[in-house]
Each structure stands twice: as C-alpha cells, then as structure tokens.
Structure 1
Amino acid sequence: MKSVSKVSLLALPILLVFGIAAVNSKTVKHTFRVSYISGLPDGVLTTSILGINGKYPGPLIEAEVGDVLEVTVINKIQDGQNVTLHWHGLHQRGTPFQDGPSQITQCPLKEGSTQVYTFPLLLPGTYWYHSHVNSQYTEGLWGSLIVRGTPEVWQELYDEEILITVNDWYHTSAKQNEEWFLRPESGGAPPYPFSVLMNGVGRYPCGTALKAGRLCVSYSQVRPVFKVQPRKTYRLRLINTSGWVAFNFTISGHTLTPIEVDGIDLAANQPVHHAIFIGAGQRYSFLLKADAGVVGDEFLIRASLRKEFLFTLAGNINPAPEAVINEVTGVIKYANVGRQTYSSSPLVKPSFEQFDHSKTYRTVETWSTMDFLTEMETVPFDAVPAPPNFDTEKVVNIIFQNDENGLRRGSFNGHPFELPTGKPALGKLVDGIPIPEATSHFNMKYGDIVQVVINNPELGPHPIHLHGHHFWVVGMGHSGDGSYDPLRHQLNLNGHRRDTVLVKEKSWLVIRFRADNPGVWLMHCHIDWHMLSGMAMVFVEAPELASSIRVPDEARKVCADHNVFI
C-alpha cells in the first residue's frame, strides 16, 4: 500500500502541469505539410529540400508560457520516407510521447499519414524544432520556436527583437549523404558541407557549381538586412541549426550582452562581449544596443564556421570542400524606421539584398582581437545552484573505432547506439518490455541527482544534447585538458544551466540533473553524422513510475500504421 501511495504522490506534479495549462492557456495551432521542394538557398539549385508548406526554413512558431501547442504534421514526402518532429529544448514534462525521436518516444509517421503533436509550453525561451529521423533535418526540415514569458524577465530592457539562424548546407540529399557516410570508404569523415547559411540564405561559388554540372544563379545569392533605429535596444535571438558545424558570431562595431542560454534566463549585469562561439543545437539571446552609428551606417553580421574542427578525406561526397565560403553575413542598417513590428510579434522582419562586393562596412574587426563569451561565467537569473551531491554517476568516453565491417563509428564507451525495433523504447517501458542493451540505456530512480562525466579524447568539440531536461554545467575543461580527474579538476555548483553543451577537444565535461521527468530520454552528440553512426544513449528515468505515463491516442495510431501496438 505504501508503494502505491508513493507512486501517486510522485505523479502529482505531472497532473498539475496539465491542470495549470488547461486553466491559463490558449491553443496555438499550426499545420505542417512536409514535402520535397526545389530552391536556391546559396544560389545553387537544390531539389532535395525538405520544406514545410512549400517553404524553407520551416514556419516560425511564436507562443507564450501556458499556451498549448498543437501542430498537425502531414507527411507528403514524395519518396515514401517516414518523419517525426523533435521540439529541441522543451522538456515534455508529463508528455514524453511528444518528444519526437523516431523509435525512442514514438513510431515514425508514415508517408501519407497525419500526426497531431499536442503539449503545453511551460518554459520561456528560444527553441527550435527539427526532424529526428536519420539526418533528415540537414535537408532543411527545421524551424524556430519562441516561447515568451508574460512578462519576459528582461522585457523592459529592449524595444524589439531580431531572430538569426545559422547552419551548414548540402547540395546532395540526406539519403545520398547517409549512404556515402555509412560505408567503410568514408573513413568516418562526415559529408563535408557545401556552404553556410544565415536565415536560410548564403552563397556558393557559381564557377565551382557549374563545373560540377549544377545550375547556379548568382543574382539569387542574398543576405538578410535588419533595419534598426539608432539608440534603441534589441533582443537578438541566435540559433545554430547545423548538422555539423560550429560558428564564431559577432556584429561588427557592437557588443553583445547575454541574457539567455538555451531557454534559461541569465542574471543581470552579465559580462559584455564582442563575439560568441556557438555549436550545433545551441541558442543564445543578447542585448544589442544600436548606439554605434547614425542613420545610413551599415554593419556586418558575421558568422564564421570553425573550419579547423572539420575534416575530410579523399573521395568525400563533396568533391570540392575547399570551395566552401567560410563566412556568411547579414547586415545591421541604421535607419529612421520607427516601430517595425506589430502587436502579434515583437520581431523585426528582415529584408534581403544581393551581395555587393564593392560595398564597405563600418568597423570589421579580426576574430583574434575580439573578446569571446566565456560560458562558465554566465549565471542563471534564478541563481539555483547545482545539488552538492549526486546519487548516481555515468562516465561516458567518446570513442571512434571500426566495427566488424570496417565502418568507422562513433559511440559512448565503445558501444555504438542502435535504435530499437518494433515498439519505441518508451512504449517498451510503459508495457514492461526490457529496453534493448544496444540503446546503451542507463536507469535512474525518480528524484535521483545524476552526474554525467563526458571525456572527449578527439581533436574536435562535440555538442552534447540531453532531451527532457536542462542540466547544470558544473565543470568544463579547457582544450587539451585531458580526461576528468576529481583530484585535479574543480567543479562549480553555481554555474549555468542549458540543454546542449560543447565538450571541448581533448577535454572533459561534467553535468548534473535531477531525474524528475519520467520517461526515456535520449542523450546524443548533435553533430548529426556522429549520432547516425552511434554516438548516443538513453536515460530511462523513473521506471518505477512507467505505469503512470499516459499513452496518447495519436501515439497509438501512428504505431498502429506499422502494425505496432502500445
């Protein structure tokens, strides 16, 4: 009788989530029709763009804390592919079947079928959504998601908002890239990106494209222009939606004051910086003061890919990796514009201009002279420290090795991750079926404080994303610092929280989180090619509460299309 009482008590926060959302919410509805479209994001005609409602990038979702998001996904992918959507950074507390990873929290949606995702939005911040089937999102199946507090913590400090996304781009399809990458001949070198984009646009050398037999239209190569009013302050939301690359980011002549990291508001008076290093999957918000010029002045928005962390071997599916233009740019233009936004959204809508190589811009600094944000110096607004002790620990070593077929695979602890077949992992948990060992699952009890140590002996950084949680970053080594040693390395319990963090090259990382979200949650490298080859694992959280997890009718319906029944 005591155990039943305990389960009921522990399930109470989940029930309260739905009660609060139902009383104080509106429903924000979207319909996403997913299909292949053609376009020229970087000037080169690409026919394998996975668009939503005929467009790339996908629609911006804007909502407020307490709203219920309802997204109807219609799979019209012409070659019969399955699809899912993951809501990157949202915890899905009490709604784990809505998280989206194929065969982890749901069966994939078959071509010709429809699925409705429905869940409450409980945390403010800058998020994004993307496909979680193989490497699909590298074809463009992603969009931005903003959840605003009512009011926002720092709302009185800015007048309007600017949203900027940066990402890598491929002229080859995801299927082509996957088939090339998942064979021994690739040597473990991911498909090399062809270009980098800002807000969905960029440029590629047309001469190189024409030599490869691809249509390239130079006048379609454009960049975003944001008009700002002198002396106003803007909230700049920045999202890296790449499948691989990390960027240096700056706005020439201006400083950036961080106020949000991955959906976590920061305390006042954070150090001011000129530049930020941002990895795949990460998000930031900054205060940008338009105080560096007068009407008519123009300043470059610069995102430069960190090419030293990319590598390639002879025979890469990208035949001309040297052709990638390292830096993608936009423009901040000072103008007498007044208020550019409407009551429904505080976002400034950019215009787009063709590249004009004869133009000059104010104050273009070199990267080596800039002051970069130091992640471990940021402090959350709520100042909640990490728990001083932990109940269970998982040590994860990043390893690349050849399998029995000679395929170079990434993994955690030498065990490449494999997706379960039949019922998704969460369905197996709910139905009392053992989760396969090939998922490298790690079990924890409800309320446990979990410490995860990640050691990276490789030459490049890895962005580690944990579904279902924000975690405390209690320790982060410098490049070349070696593996974590508790006798040598000091932890910081008063550091920041986030959901996607970079473990630096040849270094270590320590995170902690509270196991208070029953379900099956994926942890993986957000370099999509590394996850595809096996660098992932699942945390099975509160298996003793599995019977209290509600299975939505939509989840049952989508699985039934595969003759799988939960």
Structure 2
Amino acid sequence: MGGLASLLIPLLLSPVIRLSQAATVSYNFNATWVTANPDGAFDRPTIGINGEWPIPRIEANIGDTILIDLYNGLGNQSTSLHFHGLFMNGSTHMDGPSFVSQCPIPPGSSFTYNFTIQQPGTYWYHSHTQSQYPDGLRGPLIIYDPDSPFKDQYDEELVMTLSDWYHDQMQDLIPPFMAKGNPTGAEPVPQAALMNETQGFKLSVEPGKTYLVRLVNIGAFAGQYVWFEGHNISIVEVDGVYTKPAEASMIYLSVAQRCSFLLTTKNDTSENFAITLFDALPPELNYNVTGWLVYDDKKSLPTPAIIDAFDPFDDMNLAPHDEQKLLPPPDRTVQLDVSMDNLGDGANYAFFNNITYKSPKVPSVYTVLSAGEQATDPRIYGEYTHPFVLGKDEIVQIVVNNLDSGRHPFHLHGHHFQAVYRGEESSGTFEDSGVKEEDLPAVPMRRDTLVVWPEGNIVLRFKADNAGVWLFHCHIEWHVTSGLIATFIEAPLEVQKTLTIPQNHLDVCSAGNVPVSGNAAANTEDFLDLSGQNEPPRPLPSGFTTGGIVAFVFSCIAGILGIAVVGWYEVLGEEAAADKAPHTSSGEGRTPGSA
C-alpha cells in the first residue's frame, strides 16, 4: 500500500499552479497485480499501477491535455480505462468502455489515451472491462479551475474517496452471481467499506480554516450516508458542476457520484470529531465505518454518535451556479423500463425494456466509422447493445421507470444531464405521475449520475451536442455485469467526418483478434445481416413451445412402449415358469380343459 500516503496528503494549490498555461500532463501506467489488505482482515491480489495501490491520482488544469500510456502487465486479464464524467469532446474513442469505444487491451499490449479537458471539477477513472474495477483499478481524477467561483472561499483542498471492498476477486465472484444457483440475482455483499482505500482514516485539519473537500464514491455497490460530526458543510459542486452553496449536515453519495463542499473547522483543538459512513446493508458488511477529523493527534479519537434516522440533503434541491435554464421540450423521448428476470440458463439478468445488454463483436465506434450512410440505422449496432441513434443537437429526454425493488444510480457518458424530476419510492411510472412540462423546475441541477428510488422514476434531459458513442447504465457493477446498459449513438455522420482511430489502438485490436469494421456481428458485406451477433440466453418459454410439444409426445410414446415391453417380459416369465412346474392330480395348477 505504498501509494496510500499520496492520497492522505492534503493538496495545497499554489498561485503558480493556478496561473499556469495549458500543458500536456503525461502519465506512464503499468497495470500489474499487487497484494493489498486495506481492512486488515485478508490479503488479496489487487490491481495496482506501477507496483502501488491505491493507484495514483490523475491531476490537471482545465485546458490541459492528458496523455496516458497504459501497459497491461496483468498477465491473465484484458483491461481499459474510463475517465468517469469527462465529456471527451471530439475524442469518443478515448472514453474507455471495451467493445464500445475501443478494443480491450490484452496482456502484454499498450494503449495511449490522449484527450484535452475543457471542464473543471471532481471526477474519477476506472477500468471499464469485465467488471474489473472493484479489484482495485479505480482512483480520483481532479481538474483544477483558476476561475472557480469559490476560489477565494477556502484555504486548502482535500480529496477523499469512499469505496467498498471484497475479499474475493471479481473473476471468482461473477460466475456464481450469474449462475442458476442465484435465481434472484442477489448481489455479493462486500466485506468492508473504506475511506481513502483504508479503515481508521485520519484527516488532519487545522483550526479556523476552510477546506474544499472533494468526495468521490469509487465503490462498486454501496451508496454511503456521510456525516462529519459537529460540523456542517456547504455543497458547492456535484459531478463536475458548480452549485449554488447549499448547507447540509449529512449527504448521501451513491456509487460513481461526487460531491465537493466547504468545511470550516472550529477555532480550538480541544477535541477531535468522527467522520461516519452509513448504509442500510446486511450485517456481513461492516457498513458503519468511522474516520476522524483530527485537530490534535495527541487527543483521543471519539466513539461516533448514534443517529436515529438517515436524513441526508436532498440533491434534487441543488441548483446550478450558472443558472442554466431548463432545456426546451424534448425532440426525442427515450423510455427505459428497468426489470430483473431469469433467462433460459436459469440466471437472473437486468433489463431495459426487456433487453439485456450483450457486447457487439466490433466496438460500436468502429461500426460507426465503417458503415457509411448506414451509420444512422440503429439496427447495425446489434439488438442487444440496445442502441438509440440521436440527431445532432436534438433535445433528448430519458425517462427511467424502475420496476425493480432496488435503487439504481444511473450514469450517462459524454454529457451532463438536467435532473428534471425524480418520483418518490413506490411512486410507479412517470406516465402515472401526472407531472406536466410546466411542473418541472425552471433551473434544474445538472450532473452525470442520479439515483432512482425503488419502484420510482427519474426524468433526465440533455442536448445531443457531443458526437460519439455513449453508454447509459446503472453504476452498480453487478447490474452492469447482468446487462443494465443502453447505447446512444450520437450524430454518427459527424463522427465519421472528424475521427480517425490511431494505429496504436488498431494494434491492440489486432493483438486481441478483435475485428475493427462491420456491424455488431462483424459482417462487412451486409450491415443489416446480424447473424452471428453476440446474444444473451433465450428467454424461458411461457408454456409449451412446438419443440416442447414434440418432446412431450415422444416422451409419452417412449413411456408406453417401455411399459409394454416390461409387461411382455413378465408374461414370458410366467409361461416359462408354468412349463417347468410338475403336474399334480389335486387340481393345483392348470389342467387341460380348465378355464
């Protein structure tokens, strides 16, 4: 855990850094297996960078170009990197999801990410291959802004991560999770919750100072209620969007969400204070985890207080600092109904509109580039990528109706969306809510990840002004594994005009034997011929199918013949016994002429 110290050191920004010109910030990353034990309970293989875990923080200024050379030294797994929350304007091929914007990077290969950032804020980066990031390939990404509206209101910046931790690797957890022995789709429960990838975290502060705390949930499953005892906070940013200051005593942060807030310390050092994480999860997870605001390391660390109920700040009440108004009524509405059900292999899958995601054989961006005018036809991207083709600058509204009994944090790549409505738990579908256009907020909050409550609904709105291929998915990693993903292909003909795939990327595809042209089935002759595309198991039949009826009839015939053969052998056996028995005059047995 040699990289832990770098995460614990508060970051003090100097005027020199703040005033620096746009630059290229370079990182050379070698992803390898290391051993980690962050909860002190169990050593396990973990994905580190350059031999260290936690992995390095990526830092740049707004306007900088980030250049990352990633070598896959894992030996037994492919990988990739996604830069969560960054728009990747003009560089959709740098977004990172395998089989969407790139080929997975096989062991022994290198891949170069090269993109320029024009958005400030708090982000993170993680693997977007094989549900791999819970094994450790996850870390914060911070873009500093010399023109932040809050730059004069704090003295230092601090970065904190929240996460959950499994003692087993994902490659061992996924098969039983996706097996018929788990028909309800019960998610594996993590063994621990972590702050800055450790437990017993101590955040050293000085009295009478104001800190900008950047808080990132980089976990796979657990949302967290966060409480700084004895201190209120003032929220000033979520998911890379500045907010009007909002006072809070407790916040809820789902996986993938970020929240930055101002925290002003007390003017004395007479005591230290607990930082507590809560979540309502089963008892096998140590979900009440405590860290401390440490004013004086010579004083005791207090036991956290008991709370009667969760009462977090409602993030739907946030307002954007720039007061961007509600976008016009949508040109296009995409309704996605969430459900969980079993398919023919007996396992539980996640569905949007009865479609569970299955990766195409050709990365979808490469299909865009090789399809010519047919790139605007959603069929070529495969039925099971759940594709929607969006026109340039369309106003798009996503309505998510959660027909499931669990909560889901939904994330959109390539955009901030306006969070225009969220129904209460058990409120049913948006269509049943009676909410009209005039009922929506005039200035809704923007972000890239929003939670829908159990059996509730959310309404999101954005402008399709970023040509590329972007995923929309639940960020609970188990639900990604089970297929809760849709694909937005945005202005594909614009992508063809502006995008060229670097040879470095094509080399990775060649090394992994992944085709780089054609439709979702890798057919380059007829883009509407999807025979051979990747498919999930077929649905369970409802009643008897034709094949089932035929099988039933033959089973019945076979059963009747079997009974007849048994009866025939029994008769033959009786006759043979009668022939061998001695004849008597007492009338026992059969005599000639008897009935």
**Contact 1:248 / 1:306 at 8 angstroms: preserved in 2?**
no
Q: CA RMSD in A?
A: 1.9
**Contact 1:399 / 1:410 at 8 angstroms: preserved in 2?**
yes
Look up the match of 1:20: none
**Contact 1:36 / 1:47 at 8 angstroms: preserved in 2?**
no
Q: Could you tell me which amino acid in structure 1 is paired with residue 315 of structure 2?
A: E
In 1, the alpha carbon distance for the partners of 2:176 and 2:394 equals 42
In 1, the alpha carbon distance for the partners of 2:344 and 2:432 equals 35
Look up the match of 1:6: none
Post-superposition shift, 1:386?
2.1
Look up the match of 1:476: 422
1:279-294 alignment to 2 at 5 Å?
279-291=254-266, 294=268
In 2, the alpha carbon distance for the partners of 1:562 and 1:295 equals 58
1:48 corresponds to which of 28, 41, 45: 45
In 1, the alpha carbon distance for the partners of 2:234 and 2:322 equals 18
Q: Does 1:436 align with 2:382?
A: yes
1:326 corresponds to which of 270, 273, 287: 287
2:242 corresponds to which of 255, 265, 283: 265
TM-score (norm. length: structure 1):
0.83
Structure 1, unaligned runs of 5 or more:
1-22, 203-222, 311-321, 336-350
Count, aligned residues: 485
Q: Could you tell me which amino acid in structure 2 is paired with residue 230 of structure 1?
A: P
Q: Could you tell me which amino acid in structure 2 is paired with residue 559 of structure 1?
A: C
Secondary structure of the 1:74 match is strand
Q: Tell which deviates more after alignment, 32-41 or 101-110.
A: 32-41
Post-superposition shift, 1:367?
5.2
In 2, the alpha carbon distance for the partners of 1:373 and 1:551 equals 45
> Which 4+ residue blocks in structure 1 deviate beyond 3 angstroms?
none
Secondary structure of the 2:102 match is coil
Q: Deviations over 1:363-411 (max 9, x none)?
A: 735152x752111111111111121311000011101011111111011
In 1, the alpha carbon distance for the partners of 2:468 and 2:318 equals 30
Look up the match of 2:206: 229
Residues 493 and 439 of structure 1, relative CA distance in 2, 3 Å threshold:
farther
Look up the match of 1:454: 400
In 1, the alpha carbon distance for the partners of 2:474 and 2:317 equals 24
In 1, the alpha carbon distance for the partners of 2:146 and 2:201 equals 29
Look up the match of 1:11: none
In 1, the alpha carbon distance for the partners of 2:201 and 2:355 equals 43
Look up the match of 2:71: 74
In 1, the alpha carbon distance for the partners of 2:314 and 2:154 equals 23
Look up the match of 2:345: 405
In 1, the alpha carbon distance for the partners of 2:190 and 2:240 equals 28
Look up the match of 1:340: none
1:458-537 alignment to 2 at 5 Å?
458-485=404-431, 488-489=434-435, 490-537=439-486
Q: Does 1:241 align with 2:218?
A: yes
1:79-98 alignment to 2 at 5 Å?
79=76, 81-98=77-94
Q: Deviations over 1:285-340 (max 9, x none)?
A: 0110102x622421111111231xx6xxxxxxxxxxx33212122111125xxxxx
In 2, the alpha carbon distance for the partners of 1:372 and 1:245 equals 16
Secondary structure of the 1:176 match is helix
Look up the match of 1:215: none
**Contact 1:388 / 1:493 at 8 angstroms: preserved in 2?**
no
Residues 538 and 330 of structure 1, relative CA distance in 2, 3 Å threshold:
same
In 2, the alpha carbon distance for the partners of 1:287 and 1:367 equals 26
Select the structure with the greater relative contact order (CA < 8 A; seq sep ≥ 6).
Answer: 1
TM-score (norm. length: structure 2):
0.79
Q: Deviations over 1:96-115 (max 9, x none)?
A: 00000000000011101111
Q: Could you tell me which amino acid in structure 2 is paired with residue 558 of structure 1?
A: V
Secondary structure of the 2:38 match is coil
**Contact 1:97 / 1:555 at 8 angstroms: preserved in 2?**
no
Structure 2, unaligned runs of 5 or more:
1-19, 518-595
**Contact 1:135 / 1:532 at 8 angstroms: preserved in 2?**
yes
1:388 corresponds to which of 299, 308, 328: 328
Q: Deviations over 1:497-545 (max 9, x none)?
A: 0001101111110000000111110000000011111100100101232
**Contact 2:236 / 2:246 at 8 angstroms: preserved in 1?**
no
Secondary structure of the 1:393 match is strand
Secondary structure of the 1:63 match is strand
Post-superposition shift, 1:492?
1.9
Percent sequence identity is 33
In 1, the alpha carbon distance for the partners of 2:354 and 2:43 equals 37
Greater C-alpha Rg: 2
